Structure 1
Amino acid sequence: MSRYACIPASVALLCASVPALAASHVFLIQNSGWMEPFYTDPASPFKPLVAEIIMAATGPGDPMVLAAFNQSLPGAPSPRALLSLKVDPVPTRREVVKALAALEVAHKPGGTALADTDLNEAVGSAIGTALGGKPGLVWLVTNNRNSPNNDQATALRNRDFYQLIHRGDAISKALAFPLQMPVRGAQYRANGLMVYVFAVGAQGARELDALLLSGRLQRVITEPAARLKPLDRDTLRLVPRKVSDAPGVAFSMAPGGVLHADVDAGTRAPAAKIEWNLENTIYPYTIASATLAARSVLGGENRAIELASTQVSKLAPGKSAPLASTMQLPVTQLPGTWSLKAVTSAGSAYVLPGRIELQLSEQRLELSQDFRQRMATLFPGDPLPDIFTPPAQIKGSSAALPIEVRVHYGVGPLLAAIGAALALLGAAAWAMLAMARPRKAYVTVEDELRTMQARAGTVQPIYDKAGNKVAQLKTTLFGHQLIDLREGAQVRLGR
């Protein structure tokens, strides 16, 4: 076992001392009675698949716990930790494969009866003990059956599991992957397997989104993820299809799903009629019916978007419906051609960020028929798990499309500003030279012509032949003048 291991396999509860870092993982592997064919079929790909999921989901340095679970009984507690370590890909793979190889179907204490299952107990222990209530991801590998002996408490435990996932505050996002895996054991046979992943806390949801974006998990699990939670946001995607009646405005989608609205600087009333594709992104649910409303939030302005239709119905997952709209862009928030923002944005674009918000009210969701058929094929004879029933309190949802309004300004204002700045600099330089250069001034005092040297900004006294001060010579950039002229003095400028 790894030097990071903190508990032996015989300890029942999950390790509470695992560092609760971002992207902490807890892997819960069911080994109760109904799982018998997955363990005993010689051709079963079950354990290799679990190992690959673990390696795809984790990264170097991630703390993880691997545990088996069934139903806790006196003398046979559950979950039971198999490994607790920080991931180092090569040795971790060896330890995971070794731990899974030793895992067998569990029996009830003191007999040969196969163990029952409590999904709620397993996930609750993972959240409360292994993660200590801190962010992380809980993975659950199960055949979706709670009890091989039709325990009468099964329905109650199923309801508890439903409440934990849909109404509990701890789990922020939940996905399910129904997988085909036909296996035959000595007692049972099965066609499929379910892999759940539950994101704990907002940080856990971000880590799950990052994992899905990386594509690592999809290289192992090629089936689309069925969303269990949240069902009240990001249920639709807006994709612009056509723009008309928008002189001076052009729309385009940028990488990352940001809508660009490029506006010419001279456009005074930018508005556009936009035809969208409204796509259902909430697999496996069909939006049976909903009422639509939309608005734009740009530059501090909140404007309603006029929709050609406010109703959506029978929109299957992955399918799209046309939606026409008229949107007004925030004219008053766009800088004028001669504004400082326009001048500094010359040759590029002034960007005004915002978003388009779509609200669905009176929303009614239904499981798609394709998904129901797939579940019936993978789990024949089993009722559809309640966990796939949308909570009754979810009557609406929202979606947002980031938008950037980009105003393109020519270089004319910038060139004009540069020219004006150069003119001012030239004038200032001329003024400085003029101030520093001595200038001749001709002054006649009592019929005597005198030549004086004066710099701009100076004042010099003028004396008569007897040595009396009779005036002062003031020199500016624009010439000379006599000031403080003594009464009766014979002093004048010039010859």
Structure 2
Amino acid sequence: MTRWQRWPVLVLACCATFTAQAASHVFLVQNSGWMEPFYTDPASPYKALVTEVVQAAMAPGDALVLAAFNQGLPGAPSPRALLAQKGKPDRASLRAVLDPLEVGRKPGGKAMADTDLGEAVGSAIDGALGGKPGLVWLFTNNRNSPNNDQATARRNREFYQLIHEGAAIRKALAFPLKMPVRGAQYSAGGLMVYVFAVQEQGARELDALLASGRLNQVITEMPARLKPLDQDTVRLVPARVENTPGVRYAVLPDGRLRAELDAGTPAGASSGHAARITWRLENTMYPYTITAADISAQAALAGEVKPVALQTDAVRNLAPGKPQPLASSLTLPVANLPGKWSLAALSTAGSAQVIPGRIEVTLANQRLELSQAFRQRMAELFPGDPLPDIFTPPARIQGSRAVLPVEVRLQYGAGPLLAAIGGLFAVLAAAGALAVAATRGRKVVVSVDGEPRTLRTKAGAKTPLYNTAGDQVAELHTTLFGYQLANVREGANVQLAGRSGK
């Protein structure tokens, strides 16, 4: 087992229990022969960039492995761990391991090492992360040529397959950066920073990092999406909304749609009142243009689904950053919303009950095309490198789905609650009266052998009656609603005379 396979795995594996919010990062820094100008140019910002990306990407409590990679050979393993620890390293620690890093050499000679991108990423996923979730970062000049293989197109396809067809990688982004450097043997115009999110938890960690804005402070370029290309491909942003009877719409600051319904609205709304909404349809798949797709939408709320009538059923030439207007007619599915006498309505009387909903947009028969401007930028940064083919969408991706959260606020008046409270008090009063009647003492007059007797009793009591000889001849049963004689002895003269006073 190599050092790479042993040490980083233990570090990252133990971090799984370090904290529930901690993320695991593997930073792969290329140092093959093609990277010579990035190491020998005195003005190269390469190592400084790596340092700042690590600082921006990691949060306190995260774990990392920082490793140099080229191509693994006997006696020269790759990747090679430079630093592995729990907790965010400071800049001094990073400089201490990056500053001495030089271009790798092949064993037994001075020939510079070759490059194997697929080997590096695969080792990071299976080795350093040990199959667990995390983020793998790759700093490379896009030269993928193991054993100085000139069949770069084939090698790039292998890397392409690892990204697009590998089940472990759930999300992949690329940041093409301008970085002109000149060395003794080579020169370069750009650098590519990739980030691969491993498993669904890794994808969530990457989304959270992007939302935090920390990475934007170091890399200002818009990330190019590699994967997935079938989720969140478009975004609907409400631009204009017309209210309908009983329903008031608003656009929240985050772009979500809010609908406020009054308590008797569901019946009216389900009868056909539709809101006319004009959306901005935005392509979120930079750097791809959706050249053609069939579009449909539906609204889902409280387990009910209704189609959204769109002005058009097709999308044509939707480029990133160039939204298109899309008119629609929306009727909220309200059949399953709680009624005004429901427990939910009574518990939120006088306020609003918030019910989450969504609008789902589906693109079918989708055709994507890499924008020409992006191709030109890649050709400028990486002249003669066919690796931009990695951005070619897989043929199997013909459809995609996007979801717009909708917040429905159902307003309930206090009337039903007051009525319910009044009914409750009536029930309590009746129960109180019954309780008083059940516990109050009573006087009853009975006659045994012609002799009248006054007895004290209460509801639920069973009082034995005796003759003058001391024999039990009957029982007086007292209920909440009256009296009766029971178990009267044959031949006995026992009569119920009635109630006598209190």
Task: Bin the TM-score by the shorter chain.
Answer: 0.7 to 0.9
Alignment counterpart, residue 141 of structure 2, candidates 140, 143, 146: 143
Q: 1:190 aligned to 2:191? A: no
Q: Corresponding residue for 1:50?
A: 50
Q: Deviations over 1:48-93 (max 9, x none)?
A: 1111111222234433222222233455443232223323533xx3
Q: CA RMSD for the aligned pairs? A: 3.6
Aligned: 1:375 with 2:378:
yes
Q: What's the counterpart of residue 340 of structure 2?
A: 337
Spell out the pairing of 1:100-139 with structure 2 (5 A cutoff): 100-139=98-137
**Residue matched to 1:262:** 260
1:211 has 2:216 as partner: no
In structure 1, the gaps of 5 or more residues are: 1-5
Identify the residue that residue 24 of structure 2 maps to in structure 1.
24
Q: Of 311, 318, 331, which residue of structure 2 is paired with 1:328?
A: 331
Equivalent residue letter for 1:84: A
Percent same amino acid at aligned positions?
A: 62
Q: Residue in 1 aligned with 2:309? A: 306
Given that 1:236 and 1:278 are in contact with CA atoms closer than 8 Å, whether structure 2 keeps it comes out as: yes
Larger deviation, residues 443-452 vs 327-336:
443-452
Provide the C-alpha distance between the structure 2 equivalents of 1:97 and 1:225, rounded to a whole number of angstroms: 26
Determine whether 1:385 maps to 2:378: no
SS at match of 2:114: coil
For 2:296 and 2:354, locate their aligned partners in 1 and report how far apart those are by CA, in whole Å: 26
Aligned match of 1:65:
65
In the alignment, the residues of structure 1 paired with residue 347 and residue 131 of structure 2 have an alpha-carbon distance, to the nearest angstrom, of 50
Letter of the 2:286 partner, please give it: Y
Say whether 1:163 aligns with 2:166.
no
**1:287-335 Cα deviation digits (max 9, x unpaired):** 1111111122322223222222111111111332222223333333122
CA contact (8 A) 1:181 1:190 kept: yes
**How high is the TM-score relative to the length of structure 1?**
0.85
Distance of aligned partners of 1:75 and 1:440 in 2 relative to their CA distance in 1, 3 Å threshold? closer
Q: Which residue of 2 aligns with 1:419?
A: 422
CA distance in 2, matches of 1:237, 1:335: 30
The answer to whether the 8 Å contact 1:14/1:125 transfers is no
Structure 1 equivalent of residue 319 of structure 2: 316
State the TM-score, normalized to the length of structure 2: 0.84
| Residue number in structure 2 paired with 1:3 | none
1:219-238 equivalent positions in 2, closer than 5 A: 219-238=217-236
Partner of 2:19: none
| CA distance in structure 1 between the partners assigned to 2:35 and 2:182 by the alignment | 10
Tell me the secondary structure at the aligned position of residue 398 of structure 2.
coil
Alignment of 1:351-362 (within 5 A): 351-362=354-365
Give 3-state SS (helix, strand or coil) of 1:333's partner. coil
CA contact (8 A) 1:482 1:493 kept: no
Q: Which residue type is aligned with residue 319 of structure 2?
A: A
1:207 is displaced (CA, Å) by 1.9
Question: What secondary structure does 1:385 align onto?
Answer: helix
Distance, in Å, in 2 between the alignment partners of 1:156 and 1:108 is 23
CA distance in 2: counterparts of 1:360 and 1:471, whole angstroms: 87
**How far apart, in 2, do the equivalents of 1:110 and 1:490 lie?**
123
Paired with 2:456 and 2:152, the residues of 1 have a C-alpha distance of: 111
Distance 1:165 1:329, change over 3 A: same
Task: Identify the residue that residue 20 of structure 2 maps to in structure 1.
Answer: none
Select the residue among 278, 287, 292 that pairs with 2:290: 287
After superposition, what is the alpha-carbon deviation per residue over 1:23-69, rounded to whole angstroms, capped at 9, x for unaligned? 22221111123322211121221111111111222234433222222
What is the distance in 2 between the residues matched to 1:292 and 1:190? 43
Select between 376-385 and 60-69 the one with higher mean Cα deviation.
376-385
Deviation at 1:450, TM superposition (A): 8.8
Query: Is the 8 Å Cα contact of residues 59 and 89 (structure 1) preserved in structure 2?
Result: no
Q: Using a 3 Å threshold, how does the CA distance of structure 1 residues 198 and 441 change in structure 2: closer, same or farther?
A: same
State whether structure 2 residue 274 is matched by structure 1 residue 272: yes
Question: Equivalences for 1:168-183 in 2 at 5 Å?
Answer: 168-183=166-181
> Residue type matched to 1:370 in 2?
A
